[in-house]
């Protein structure tokens, strides 16, 4: 039994419960979701509140206990429409009439058979459903929340009441999910981002274009330095390209034909050319390559540009960093020969594994080898031969690198197959983060070549690859993953020194300078708050270490160290603490 079938069936049962309590309610749409289901209702004049959900939930459990049966009742289109009109189900009538207009001849209905007449329920639906309600665990679902949505997403139409439910196979799964959601709420990057002063949303700038505060930039620079350290001895070079280009570039790259609606257009007052903000770096990098006369000795050529690109994506719910229009890519492009793909992918895979081991996300990862839909090749650019070569090279590399991969058809990009890396955060949420994508198309379109051993021009392959993916997205994942308490090497607030009274301020200051001279991000809490308050403040500000300083410490040249993550409290020689901390940072300990 598919969980989606159970979830969808529960939306019927919810409607059944709602109609038995509020017979005048009109029903609209009722899909299942990734975590449960919802139903949009027109409650008319009745105002439904969170407390009413309890009653509806109780009624649903009661219905389930009766072990009602879902009985399929087909009707002809006209008979069905007449039936719905009789019940005054105006939204269902509209849907049924749409189906009729699409030449449907019959409509499916499902009836829930109850002993009580007021609970008899019938709903137009194509199914599938469970057969009988005993297939559900009445403790494995829960009504979640109320929201509002326009009928048919049209703001000129009526606003309907949407009731969300959570549903799983077992009670345990439901409880885990609820716990995870509560934990996620505490870790919400929007709240932590504000509290820890990581980023700023300015109405004057635009709600979708975050500005990054100093604390964010410390994390970003550490990540960028680490990524660069992993790459720099493997022949990667930095390049830099402007944030806009003439439309000509995107005509050549094919984006103007297929990506235009996602690009911002740029116009000058004096300059009359038509420009676009770059939605990705690859076309620019093709031009960087093209201006060199490379020989086979120079291959592979590898470029890195951690640039911000801009995409005018369709409006979604405003939600911190999740749908921003400024996207900082860790954008690396390789140009290599076909037979070099395997070695390059191996090297990248090593780097990906190292990076995510450091980030504590390497458990339970898997890799999607995203290949072409063989049934409908028209969606893809490039010849059969080119696709077979690329898919084979990636799969061979995946096997050679012992990647836990699955071959997923239809998931390829239009320009080539790819390896997408799926990682789980500490809440068990899965994220597609790293990617390695073959591209036989761009080198063709930009007519790129290098000189081979026979002095002939040879076409390179392009590999697009990202390790962290969009930095904005990666940041919100790790803010929530670490609940704001970043590993010390990444942390913008590594150490805070708390003098117990102001007569220890000088010693605290001296200690602070000693730490700062070693590039440790330290500060002193000179406020007049109590010791307890200062420690509490340090913890909510997500400092890694709190150093408490008073008489005894100064006499012994020691510090009382509170490790915020482990809650351990120790007394250590100053030099020992500094050495341990420096090692922790240098080795990027979690």
Which positions touch a second copy (CB under 8 A)?
Answer: 197, 200, 202-206, 208-214, 216-218, 220-221, 233, 237-246, 248-249, 252, 260-271, 273, 275, 277, 283-284, 287-288, 290-292, 303, 308, 310, 312-315, 325-326, 516
Under 8 Å between Cβ of 542 and 529: no
For the question of residue 473 being annotated catalytic, the response is: no
Question: Between the CA of residue 532 and those of 485, 499, 539, 557, 571, what are the distances in Å?
Answer: 20, 12, 11, 23, 18
Report, in Å, the least distance between residue 153 CB and a second copy. Answer: 15
Return the number of the residue (92 or 521) whose C-beta is nearest a second copy. 521
Report, in Å, the least distance between residue 216 CB and a second copy. Answer: 7
State the residue for tokens 């300059």. 271
For the question of residue 418 being annotated catalytic, the response is: yes
Contacts of 273 (CB under 8 A, 6+ apart): 246, 247
Q: Of residues 6, 464, 493, 562, which has the active-site annotation?
A: 464
Output DSSP code: residue 502. G
Return the number of the residue (39 or 446) whose C-beta is nearest a second copy. 446
Return the number of the residue (22 or 294) whose C-beta is nearest a second copy. 294
Q: Any bridge partners for residue 559, and if so which?
A: 572
Count of CB atoms situated within 10 Å of the CB of 443: 18
Return the number of the residue (445 or 459) whose C-beta is nearest a second copy. 445
CA dihedral 327, 421, 322, 176 (to 10 degrees): -170
Angstrom distance (rounded) from CA 585 to CA 579? 10
Angstrom distance (rounded) from CA 453 to CA 447? 19
Q: Of residues 302, 333, 521, 542, which has the active-site annotation?
A: 333
Angstrom distance (rounded) from CA 273 to CA 275? 6
For the question of residue 481 being annotated catalytic, the response is: no
For the question of residue 177 being annotated catalytic, the response is: no
Report, in Å, the least distance between residue 506 CB and a second copy. Answer: 17
Contacts of 135 (CB under 8 A, 6+ apart): 1, 6
Q: Of residues 152, 274, 311, 346, which has the active-site annotation?
A: 311
**Helical pair 214-231 and 341-358, crossing angle rounded to 10 deg:** 140
Q: Of residues 129, 189, 302, 329, which has the active-site annotation?
A: 329
Return the number of the residue (221 or 429) whose C-beta is nearest a second copy. 221
Q: Of residues 8, 418, 465, 521, which has the active-site annotation?
A: 418
Of 520, 504, 540, whose CA–CA distance to 580 is shortest?
520
Report, in Å, the least distance between residue 93 CB and a second copy. Answer: 33
Reading the block at residue 561, the tokens are 């160290």
Under 8 Å between Cβ of 30 and 37: yes
Report, in Å, the least distance between residue 161 CB and a second copy. Answer: 27
Report, in Å, the least distance between residue 244 CB and a second copy. Answer: 7
Angstrom distance (rounded) from CA 104 to CA 97? 9
Return the number of the residue (267 or 339) whose C-beta is nearest a second copy. 267
Report, in Å, the least distance between residue 267 CB and a second copy. Answer: 5
For the question of residue 333 being annotated catalytic, the response is: yes
Return the number of the residue (220 or 464) whose C-beta is nearest a second copy. 220
Which amino acids are annotated catalytic?
A: 282, 311, 329, 331, 333, 418, 464
């Amino acid at each position: 039994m598919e969980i989606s079938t159970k979830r969808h069936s529960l939306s019927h049962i919810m409607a059944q419960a709602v109609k038995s309590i509020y017979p005048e309610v009109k029903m609209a749409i009722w899909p299942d979701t990734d975590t449960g289901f919802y139903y949009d209702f027109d409650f008319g004049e009745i105002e439904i509140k969170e407390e009413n959900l309890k009653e509806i939930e109780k009624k649903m459990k009661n219905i389930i206990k009766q072990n009602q049966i879902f009985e399929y009742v087909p009707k002809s289109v006209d008979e069905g429409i007449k039936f719905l009109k009789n019940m005054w189900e105006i939204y269902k009538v509209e849907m049924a009439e749409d189906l009729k207009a699409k030449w449907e001849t019959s409509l499916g209905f499902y009836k829930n058979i109850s002993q009580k007449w007021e609970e008899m329920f019938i709903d137009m639906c194509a199914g599938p459903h469970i057969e009988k309600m005993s297939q559900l665990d009445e403790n494995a679902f829960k009504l979640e929340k109320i929201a509002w949505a326009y009928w048919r997403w049209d703001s000129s139409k009526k606003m309907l009441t949407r009731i969300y439910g959570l549903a799983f196979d077992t009670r345990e799964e439901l409880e885990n999910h609820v716990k995870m959601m509560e934990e996620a709420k505490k870790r919400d990057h929007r709240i932590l981002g504000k509290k820890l002063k990581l980023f700023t949303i300015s109405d004057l700038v635009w709600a979708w274009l975050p500005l990054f505060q100093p604390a964010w930039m410390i994390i970003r620079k550490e990540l960028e330095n680490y990524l660069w350290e992993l790459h720099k001895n493997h022949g990667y070079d930095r390049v830099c390209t402007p944030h806009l280009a003439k439309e000509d570039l995107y005509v050549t790259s094919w984006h103007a034909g297929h990506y235009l609606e996602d690009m911002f257009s740029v116009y000058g007052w004096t300059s009359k050319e038509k420009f676009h903000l770059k939605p990705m770096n690859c076309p620019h990098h093709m031009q960087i390559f093209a201006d060199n006369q490379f020989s086979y000795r120079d291959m592979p050529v590898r470029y890195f540009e951690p640039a911000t690109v801009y995409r005018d994506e369709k409006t979604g719910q405003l939600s911190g960093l999740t749908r921003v229009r400024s996207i900082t890519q860790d954008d690396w492009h390789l140009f290599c020969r076909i037979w070099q793909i395997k070695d390059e992918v191996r090297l990248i895979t090593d780097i990906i594994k190292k990076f995510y081991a450091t980030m504590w996300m390497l458990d339970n990862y898997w890799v999607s080898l995203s290949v072409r839909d063989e049934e409908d090749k028209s969606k893809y650019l490039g010849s059969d031969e080119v696709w077979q070569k690329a898919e084979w090279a990636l799969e061979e590399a995946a096997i050679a690198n012992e990647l836990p991969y699955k071959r997923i058809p239809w998931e390829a990009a239009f320009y080539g197959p790819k390896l997408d890396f799926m990682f789980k955060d500490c809440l068990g949420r899965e994220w597609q983060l790293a990617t390695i994508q073959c591209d036989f198309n761009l080198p063709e379109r930009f007519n790129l070549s290098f000189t081979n051993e026979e002095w002939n021009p040879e076409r390179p392959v392009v590999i697009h690859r990202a390790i962290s993916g969009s930095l904005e997205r990666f940041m919100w994942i790790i803010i929530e993953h670490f609940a704001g308490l970043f590993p010390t090497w990444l942390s913008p607030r590594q150490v805070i020194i708390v003098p117990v009274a102001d007569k220890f301020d000088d010693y605290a200051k001296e200690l602070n300078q000693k730490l700062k001279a070693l590039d440790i991000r330290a500060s002193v809490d000179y406020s007049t708050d109590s010791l307890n308050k200062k420690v509490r403040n340090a913890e909510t500000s997500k400092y890694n270490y709190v150093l408490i300083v008073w008489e005894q410490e100064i006499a012994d040249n020691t510090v009382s160290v509170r490790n915020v993550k482990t809650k351990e409290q120790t007394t250590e020689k100053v030099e020992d603490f500094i050495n341990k901390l420096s090692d922790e940072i240098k080795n990027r300990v979690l």
